[in-house]
């Protein structure tokens, strides 16, 4: 596969390490009342769609960016690649 890195251009996926669903960016609030349940769902449950999936790839053999890649799990077609940091900020994460 080829991942079109937003900073570096097209790169072979062999340069990357995969982690899975980009929902891992949305770490729950540990202070929440039902934090235990929220963390369980966060850490263990997956939509696992047959179709578009936003997923985390780490450019280990490159600039060490975490990317959010939107890829169809049926065809492997990649429709979007973003810096995970930008996605995290857009989700309201900061410090």
Partner 1 sequence: MTQVNRVEGGQIDRNTPLKFKFDGKSYTGHAGDTLASALLANGVRLMGRSFKYHRPRGPLSAGSEEPNAIVTLRDGARAEPNTRATTAELFDGLSARSQNCWPSVKFDALAVNDAASDFLAAGFYYKTFMWPAPFWEKVYEPIIRKAAGLGALSMQEDPDEYDKGFRHCDLLIVGAGPSGLMAALTAGRAGKEVILADEDFAMGGRLLSEQIEVGSTSALDWTTQTIAELSSLPNVRLMSRTTVIGAFDHGIYGAVERVSDHLLEPAIGKPRQILWRIYAGKTLLCAGATERPIAFENNDRPGIMLASAMRSYVNRWAATPAQRVAIFTSCDDGHRTAADLHAKGIKIAAVIDTRADTPMSMNYEVLAGAQVTNTKGRLGLTVVEVQLADGSTRTLECGALGVSGGWNPNVHLTCHQRGRPTWDGDLSAFVPGGTLPPGMTVAGAASGDLSTNGALLSGANGAAEALGIKAADTPEADDTPATQSAFWYVEGCKRAWLDQQNDVTVKDVRLAHQEGFRSVEHLKRYTTLGMATDQGKTSNMGGLAIMAEIAGKGIPDVGTTIFRPPYTPVAIGALAGRMRGMEFHPTRLTPSHYWAKECGAVFVEVGNWLRAQWFPIEGETHWRQSVDREVKATRASVGVCDCTTLGKIDVQGADAATFLNKVYCNPFAKVAVGKTRYGLMLREDGIAMDDGTAARLAEDHFVVTTTTAKAGPVYQHMEFVRQCLMPDADVQLISTTEAWAQFAVAGPNSRALLQKIVDPEFDISNEAFEFMACANITVCGGLRARLFRISFSGELAFEIAVPSRYGDALMRKLMEEGEEFDVVPYGTEALGVMRIEKGHAAGNELNGTTTANNLGMGRMVSKKKDSIGTVLSERAGLNEDDALKLVGVKPLASEDKITAGGHLMAADGPVDAANDQGYVTSAAYSPEVGSMIGLALIKSGDARMGEKMRLVSPVTDSEVLVEVTSAHFVDPEGGRQRA
Partner 2 sequence: MRYSGIKVIKEALTGHKGWKPAWREPDPKPHYDIVIIGGGGHGLATAHYLAKVYKQKNIAVIEKGWIGGGNVGRNTTIIRSNYLLDGNEPFYEFSLKLWEGLEQDLNYNAMVSQRGIMNLIHSDAQRDAFVRRGNAMILNGADAEYLDEAQIRAEYPFLKFDDQRFPIKGGLAQRRGGTVRHDAVAWGYARSADNHGVDIIQNCEVTGFKIENGVCKGIETSRGFIGAGKVGCAVAGNSGRLMGMAGMRLPIESHVLQAFVSEGLKPVLPGVITFGAGHFYVSQSDKGGLVFGGDLDGYNSYAQRGNLPVVEDVCEGGMAIMPMIGRARLLRMWGGIMDMSMDGSPYIDKTHIEGLYFNGGWCYGGFKATPASGYTFAHLLANDAPHETATAYRLDRFKTGHMIDEKGQGNQPNLH
Interacting residues toward partner 2 by CB under 8 A: 1, 13-14, 18-21, 37, 40-41, 43-50, 53, 55, 71, 73-76
Alpha-carbon gap, residue 3 to 67, rounded angstroms? 10
Q: Which of residues 21-40 bind partner 1 (CB under 8 A)?
A: 24-25, 27, 30-31, 35-36, 39-40
Using an 8 Å Cβ cutoff, are 70 and 54 in contact? yes
- Decide whether 37 or 48 has the Cβ nearer to partner 1: 37
Cα distance between residue 75 and residue 31, in whole Å: 40
Q: Taking CB under 8 A as the rule, does residue 8 contact partner 1?
A: no
Instruction: Give the HSE-up count for residue 9: Cα atoms under 13 Å, Cβ half-sphere.
Output: 0
Chain position carrying tokens 């309201």: 92
| Bridge partners (DSSP) listed for residue 9 | 5
Partner from partner 2, partner 1, none contacting 23, C-beta within 5 to 8 A by type: none
Interface residues toward partner 1, by CB under 8 A: 1-2, 12, 17, 19, 24-25, 27, 30-31, 35-36, 39-40, 42-43, 56, 58, 60, 64-66, 75-78, 83-89, 93-95
């Amino acid at each position: 596969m080829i991942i079109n890195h937003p900073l570096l251009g097209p790169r072979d996926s062999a340069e990357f390490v995969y982690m899975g669903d980009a929902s891992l960016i949305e770490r729950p609030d540990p202070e929440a009342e039902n934090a235990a349940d929220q963390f369980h769902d966060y850490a263990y449950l997956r939509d696992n769609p047959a179709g578009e999936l936003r997923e985390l790839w780490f450019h280990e053999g490159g600039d060490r960016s975490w990317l959010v890649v939107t890829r169809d799990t049926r065809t492997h077609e990649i429709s979007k690649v973003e810096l995970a940091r930008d996605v995290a900020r857009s989700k309201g994460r900061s410090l």
